[in-house]
Amino acid sequence: MTAAPAEGSALRHPAEVAALADEVGRQVRALHALKAQLARGQSEVERAMHLVLFHLADAGPLRVSALAERLGTDPSTTSRQTGELVKRGLLERLPDPDDGRASLLAVTDEGHEVVAAMKERRHERLARAVEGFTREELVCFTALLARFADGLEQARLDSLRPAPPHAQEIA
Amino acid sequence: MTAAPAEGSALRHPAEVAALADEVGRQVRALHALKAQLARGQSEVERAMHLVLFHLADAGPLRVSALAERLGTDPSTTSRQTGELVKRGLLERLPDPDDGRASLLAVTDEGHEVVAAMKERRHERLARAVEGFTREELVCFTALLARFADGLEQARLDSLRPAPPHAQEIA
DNA sequence: TATTGTTATACTCTATAACTATA
DNA sequence: TATAGTTATAGAGTATAACAATA
């Protein structure tokens, strides 16, 4: 049913994909352990809200629905989290000029300060994790990781809307 | 107090580390969204227990305490999770020959089957995410990711035991 | 009538603390 | 007395369902 993978494409290399999968699994476990450890220490913001704050800081003002879609969470969850961040003064709600029902969530000055402080601590931890990397390896890894993250995101979106090409016979 | 970073070491390249940090952040968000999506679909095993099962499948039989340490979770959490997996027949408790209080947790045949099935689905998803990668890029990325995961794990362990350098008085 | 967002409720995952049984 | 593990219990984090307000 699916077309043959292009010459040189990753799909032609199942063994290499399997090796990558093992390492991604190890990385997921390492990140999980790190997260658990960080959650025990105190922080300005609870763990789950980091994602919200960082994404808005990266992407600029968004509506609740758009934010939820990008984070892969339910709008109800996103609503509660952003409400809490508004209460703490890290986010503000701007009226959406196009739609009276919605508002745009924007990071406040104080929110940007918190993000900057958290990023700094994150850089310190990360610098220790890549201590043995040369500059070239660092740059190469970053570029490949960017493509990988894009691919993950794209694969997720594709599986949510399973009807792009022409014919589809899912359910 | 800390020695100057070696020539070419990542510590000399704060801008490159910052760029990597941004991409790691994006990847964490992508994985988070993927996890949320997978959690909604049905699965043989709840999300949190995947980590337990995969780690034991990788590392071989471990005691609860050792498993908890490697996963960065509390022994009480690990005890409940492994107990549930034993109940489902995916893990079994082998008596620890060295210590009557402990037992070794081992993946059963059925457990290995479940792991294999989950890995297969994971490979399919992953193959889509790296569709544009050449074989060389795949191999290079896997190697760098392995070193990165090692670095993350090492940094976490170091921060748990803050007295490594020359004098050490662990226990 | 459909859509944006919120609130109420229930379920998962987690750690802290109290307990038991071995060492 | 200390350690390995288990079992309450309480707190995050989440989604589902019911609701309000606007389109």
Kindly list the domain boundaries of chain B, sorted by start residue: 41-129, 132-160
- Strands A103-107 and A91-95, by their bridges, are antiparallel
Lowest mean pLDDT among A110-114, B11-15, B143-147: B11-15
In DSSP terms, A97 is beta-bridged to none
Closest residue to A20, CB basis, from B18, B72, B126:
B126
| Ranges of H-type helices in B41-170 | 47-59, 64-71, 75-87, 109-129, 135-160
Q: How many CB atoms lie within 10 A of CB A68?
A: 20
Contact between A138 and B71 using a beta-carbon 8 Å cutoff? no
pLDDT digits (tens, 9 = 90+) for B4-52: 666 666 677 999 999 999 999 999 999 999 999 888 877 888 889 999 9
Percent of chain B with pLDDT over 90: 78
The distance (Å) linking the CA of A41 with the C1' of C21 is 32
Residue B166 has pLDDT above 70, yes or no: no
Domain B41-129 has CATH 3.40.640.10: no
User: Can you tell me the mean pLDDT for A139-151?
Assistant: 98
Q: How many residues would you count in chain B?
A: 171
In 3D space, the residue among B31, B54, B39 whose CA is nearest the CA of residue B129 turns out to be B31
pLDDT digits (tens, 9 = 90+) for A35-64: 998 888 778 888 889 999 999 999 999 999
The distance (Å) linking the CA of B103 with the C1' of D6 is 13
Closest residue to B144, CB basis, from A12, A25, A144:
A144
Residue B64 has pLDDT above 90, yes or no: yes
Provide the CATH topology of domain A37-129. Answer: Arc Repressor Mutant, subunit A (1.10.10)
How many Cβ pairs within 8 Å bridge chains A and B? 237
Residue A161 has pLDDT above 90, yes or no: no
Nucleotide nearest to B65 (CA to C1'): D4
Closest residue to B132, CB basis, from A18, A130, A147:
A147
What is the distance of C-alpha A110 from the center of its chain? 22
Q: Return the residue in A16, A34, A118 with the most chain B beta carbons within 10 A, the one to mutate for interface testing.
A: A16
Is A72 in contact with A156 (CB distance < 8 Å)? yes
| Ranges of H-type helices in chain A | 14-40, 47-59, 64-71, 75-87, 109-129, 135-160
Model pLDDT, residue A12: 79
Nearest-angstrom CA–CA distance, A75 and A107: 18
Q: Which bases along strand C come within 7 Å of a protein CB atom? A: 3-8, 12-18, 21-23
pTM comes to 0.90
Residue B86 has pLDDT above 80, yes or no: yes
A157, HSE (Cβ side, Cα atoms, 13 Å): 12
Nearest-angstrom CA–CA distance, B75 and B77: 5
Lowest mean pLDDT among A42-46, B71-75, B97-101: A42-46
Lowest mean pLDDT among A122-126, B19-23, B57-61: A122-126
The pair of structure tokens assigned to A76 is: 């109800």
In 3D space, the residue among A58, B128, B1, A146 whose CA is nearest the CA of residue A67 turns out to be A58
Nearest-angstrom CA–CA distance, A18 and B119: 9
Residue A4 has pLDDT above 80, yes or no: no
pLDDT category, A171, cuts 50, 70, 90? very low
